[in-house]
Structure 1
Amino acid sequence: MSDLVAIVYPSEAKAEEVRQRLLKLQKEYLITISDAVIAVKTESGGIKLNQLVNTTAMGAMTGSFWGLLIGVIFLNPILGVAIGAASGALGGALSDFGIDDAFMKQLAGSLHTGNAALFVLIKNMTADKVLKEIKDAGGTVLKTSLDDAKEQALRDALASAAAERPAA
């Protein structure tokens, strides 16, 4: 079962920095991430989602391949690529995996303008090593599905970074 963690940061750049740290930890097999999305509240009040995987582009790419293959069979590869790319892009835009977009937009609605929330769907992790790597970035826990002890450990680690920052 996966756990959801949503942490608020003062900027999109800070949230992206933490996401890159988590992806680095994934390469070290300390965490397994299903999805990692950054939600930013824009000046106009809207919510922009910065997905880890662009499903529209992936759909267009795979659609182009299959369209080319079918186009070669019917002796019109260019038309096949065009139709395949268009249908793949449409399918990719309509598909959603990982964290539900509507759920993220609803939670991110409470952010202040310019703030960003990092939503991470975690399959498994070595909690103490992951916390050690991200705690200095600070942040505020918005929502988690962690058990009470793990959530409190996360809140304490992030709060300790905030407490150390003014003293430095």
Structure 2
Amino acid sequence: MSDLIVLGFDHVDDAAKVLAECRKLETEYLLDLEDAVVVTRDGTGKARLHQSVNLERAGASWGLLSGGFWGTLVGLLCLNPLAGFVIGSAVGAGAGALAGSFSDYGINDDFIRSLSDTIPPNTSALFVLVRKSQPDKVLADLAQFKGHARIVQTSLSPEGEARLKAALVEAPQG
């Protein structure tokens, strides 16, 4: 089962920095993220969601490939495989992009939007859905951001949330 962690930051670019560090931890096989979203709120109060998985682009890519394949097959039957490939690719890419725009993956977008309404202007938040991790190593690495984050919401156990708070939230003493 995946764990949801939502962290708030006082600066607009802090959430993106923590996500970049999480991506680095993924390449070291210490963290496995199912989904991640950075929310930034500008000075006017407008919230922007920066999804880690662009479903429109993924749908368009898959639609382009599958539409091209099926278009070529139909084009062979009609003795014009090039036209079939072009038409099939265009229709497939459009349909895939449209399907991707109506899809939701990982963290529910409505949940993200409702929580993003609570963050103040000129701040950011990081939503991560973690499949699995090496908590000791991940928290030790993320300790470099200590004092910059606040916990907004988690689905961690009380012990796990306390460890996260000790690693990220509490500012160093002295």
Using structure 1 for the length normalisation, give the TM-score: 0.90
Instruction: Name the count of aligned residue pairs.
Output: 164
Decide which of 79, 88, 97 is 1:89's aligned counterpart: 97
Please state how far the C-alpha of 1:43 moved relative to its aligned partner. 3.8
Please state how far the C-alpha of 1:49 moved relative to its aligned partner. 1.0
Q: Which aligned pairs between 1:54-133 and structure 2 lie closer than 5 A?
A: 54-75=54-75, 76-133=84-141
Distance of 2:122 and 2:135 partners within structure 1: 29
Aligned partners of 1:6 and 1:118 also within 8 Å: yes
Partner of 1:25: 25
Aligned amino acid, residue 111 of structure 2? F
Aligned partners of 2:33 and 2:130 also within 8 Å: yes
Aligned partners of 2:30 and 2:138 also within 8 Å: yes
- Does 72-81 or 1-10 show the bigger shift? 72-81
Does residue 158 of structure 2 align to residue 144 of structure 1?
no
Structure 1: stretches of 5+ with no match in the other structure: none
Please state how far the C-alpha of 1:79 moved relative to its aligned partner. 1.2
Structure 2: stretches of 5+ with no match in the other structure: 76-83
Identity within the alignment, %: 34
Distance of 1:134 and 1:105 partners within structure 2: 26
Partner of 1:52: 52
Structure 1 ranges of 4+ moved more than 4 A? none
Please state how far the C-alpha of 1:145 moved relative to its aligned partner. 0.5
Please state how far the C-alpha of 1:44 moved relative to its aligned partner. 4.0
Does residue 41 of structure 2 align to residue 41 of structure 1?
yes
Aligned amino acid, residue 96 of structure 1? D
Distance of 1:13 and 1:133 partners within structure 2: 19
Distance of 1:30 and 1:95 partners within structure 2: 29
Aligned amino acid, residue 62 of structure 2? T
Distance of 1:41 and 1:7 partners within structure 2: 14
Aligned partners of 1:12 and 1:38 also within 8 Å: no
Please state how far the C-alpha of 1:45 moved relative to its aligned partner. 2.8
Distance of 1:40 and 1:84 partners within structure 2: 33
Partner of 1:157: 167
Using structure 2 for the length normalisation, give the TM-score: 0.88
Distance of 1:85 and 1:5 partners within structure 2: 34
Partner of 2:7: 7
